[in-house]
């Protein structure tokens, strides 16, 4: 059966490179004479039949643009979809509507660019008969089944630039500067930007740490004539026993940033234990915005090209993946569950320790 029409949607938090994937898919589709329908705002557009045909001019200038022109959201789940009943919002399984819409629009294959959540939904829809190709996406780089996700290199660049900036203040004021970065469950961004940005201490969810060890590093530097230090902390890094974050989470919000705030508590602890003046900064959403780095533009382009090729070849139910520098794919059901955390023996952790970076352990 010849493929005539593809669909595409972006789900979950935005990441630099989403538009580059869309552009690559559109270019391959076009040269194959295949139409491309873009569903708006994630799965929401698929349920509500909210879409637009992607024309040449829709993909012009997309390569270097952050965000997603299709819109996204990190809530709407076809299997638990918000529907208004009278004045109330109730959550219903609308997955049949999703499949029905794909059929009615004669979408031969849907390309879903998303993270854990979006691809888990893609897998469930596949089990119900939908023809879907997945493209992995998260700036946190913690997805199973692929070596790297686009957006991560850009986030690391933004974080490293922030570290470069904090360095001059730390040095000028003889302070300890604490930078809090994204990473609820995995410390990839903190680890990479910490090494790239010359951090003295890196605290990540994977490695339990003690304030005393952090203080030792700060004092050791002082002894060497460097009365200032930089601490990088992933938002999901756990505080040592008995400590908790003072700043309250604003009620009803699931926002990673509002989860954050651990850096303020760490800065306070550093002041108490070492006597060094300390300051905290939460980099927040700035990490996920902006124009993608060259690496991310290339990775996103390669993912998009591969996904479109699979779709044209009728190879459904698979996620494209980067393995040892090669783009390949794996069936949805073979993607390991859970979050890809930083292995404790990761070469970069080893290298970091060798050059004297402390992980607080």
What SS3 state is found at 296? helix
Task: Note whether 89 binds a copy of itself by CB under 8 A.
Answer: no
Q: How far is the CB of 223 from a copy of itself (least distance, A)?
A: 11
> Angle at CA 200, nearest 5°, toward 236 and 194?
50
- 339: which DSSP letter? B
Catalytic residue among 41, 140, 200, 296: 140
Dist. CA 107–CA 128, nearest whole Å: 15
Dist. CA 144–CA 119, nearest whole Å: 11
Count residues contacting a copy of itself (CB under 8 A)?
A: 96
Contact set for a copy of itself, span 170-209 (CB under 8 A):
171-174, 177, 192-193, 195-198
For the chain, first and last CA: distance in Å? Answer: 58
Task: Note whether 68 binds a copy of itself by CB under 8 A.
Answer: yes
Taking contact as CB under 8 A, which single stretch among the options 112-120, 218-226, 234-242, 335-343 is the one that binds a copy of itself?
A: 218-226
Closer to a copy of itself by Cβ: residue 54 or 157: 157
Residue 154 in tokens: 């850009």
Contact set for a copy of itself, span 268-297 (CB under 8 A):
268, 279-286, 288-291, 293-295, 297
Burial 181-220 (b: 16+ CB within 10 A, else e): bbbbbbbbbbbbbbbebebbbbbbbbbebebeebbebbbe
Closer to a copy of itself by Cβ: residue 225 or 338: 225
Residues whose CB is less than 8 angstroms from the CB of residue 17 and which lie 6 or more positions away in sequence, other chains included: 137, 150, 151, 154, 292, 296, 297, 299, 300
Residue 45 in tokens: 């557009």
Dist. CA 207–CA 232, nearest whole Å: 13
β-strand pairing of 201-203 with 176-181: unpaired
Closer to a copy of itself by Cβ: residue 144 or 169: 169
Dist. CA 177–CA 333, nearest whole Å: 44
Residues 138-157, one symbol each (x = binds a copy of itself by CB under 8 A, - = not), give ---------x-----x--xx
- Among 160, 229, 274, 358, interactor with a copy of itself by CB under 8 A: 160
- Among 226, 238, 259, 341, interactor with a copy of itself by CB under 8 A: 226
Taking contact as CB under 8 A, which single stretch among the options 78-86, 89-97, 254-262, 334-342 is the one that binds a copy of itself?
A: 254-262
Clarify whether 345 is annotated catalytic. Answer: no
Taking contact as CB under 8 A, which single stretch among the options 84-92, 209-217, 220-228, 230-238 is the one that binds a copy of itself?
A: 220-228
- Among 51, 264, 329, 359, interactor with a copy of itself by CB under 8 A: 264
Q: How far is the CB of 314 from a copy of itself (least distance, A)?
A: 17
- Among 28, 119, 121, 342, interactor with a copy of itself by CB under 8 A: 28
Which residue, among 320, 114, 287, 289, has the nearest Cα to 192 in the 3D structure? 287
Contact set for a copy of itself, span 117-136 (CB under 8 A):
none
Residues 297-336, one symbol each (x = binds a copy of itself by CB under 8 A, - = not), give xx--xx-xxx-xx--------------xxxx---------
Residue 255 in tokens: 């926002």
Catalytic residues: 140
């Amino acid at each position: 059966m010849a493929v005539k029409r593809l669909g595409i949607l972006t789900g979950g938090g935005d990441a630099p490179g989403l538009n580059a994937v869309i552009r690559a898919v559109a270019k391959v589709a076009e040269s194959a004479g295949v139409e491309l329908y873009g569903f708006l705002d994630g799965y929401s557009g698929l349920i509500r039949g909210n879409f637009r045909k992607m024309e040449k001019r829709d993909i012009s200038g997309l390569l270097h643009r952050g965000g997603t022109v299709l819109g996204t959201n990190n809530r709407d789940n076809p299997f638990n979809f918000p529907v208004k009943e009278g004045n109330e919002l109730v959550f219903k399984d609308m997955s049949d509507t999703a499949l029905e819409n794909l059929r009615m629009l004669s979408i031969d294959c849907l390309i879903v660019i998303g993270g854990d959540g979006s691809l888990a939904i893609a897998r469930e829809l596949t089990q119900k008969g939908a023809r879907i190709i997945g493209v992995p996406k998260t700036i946190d780089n913690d997805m199973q089944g692929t070596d790297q996700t686009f957006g991560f290199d850009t986030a690391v660049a933004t974080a490293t630039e922030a570290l470069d900036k904090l360095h001059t203040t730390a040095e000028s004021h003889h302070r300890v500067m604490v930078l809090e970065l994204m990473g609820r469950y995995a410390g990839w961004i903190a680890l990479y930007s910490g090494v790239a940005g010359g951090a003295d201490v890196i605290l990540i969810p994977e490695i339990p740490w003690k304030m005393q060890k952090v203080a030792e590093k700060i004092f050791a530097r002082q002894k060497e004539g460097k009365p200032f230090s930089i601490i990088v902390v992933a938002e999901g890094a756990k505080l040592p026993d008995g400590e908790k974050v003072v700043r309250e989470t604003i009620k009803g919000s699931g926002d990673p940033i509002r989860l954050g705030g651990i850096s303020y508590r760490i800065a306070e602890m550093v002041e108490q234990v070492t006597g060094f003046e300390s300051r905290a900064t939460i980099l927040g959403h700035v990490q996920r915005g902006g124009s993608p780095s060259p690496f991310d533009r290339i990775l996103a382009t390669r993912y998009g090209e591969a996904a479109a090729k699979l779709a044209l070849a009728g190879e459904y139910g698979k996620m494209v993946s980067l393995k040892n520098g090669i783009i390949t794919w794996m069936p949805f059901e073979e993607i390991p569950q859970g979050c890809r955390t930083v292995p404790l023996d990761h070469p970069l952790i080893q290298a970091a320790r060798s050059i004297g970076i402390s992980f607080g352990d």
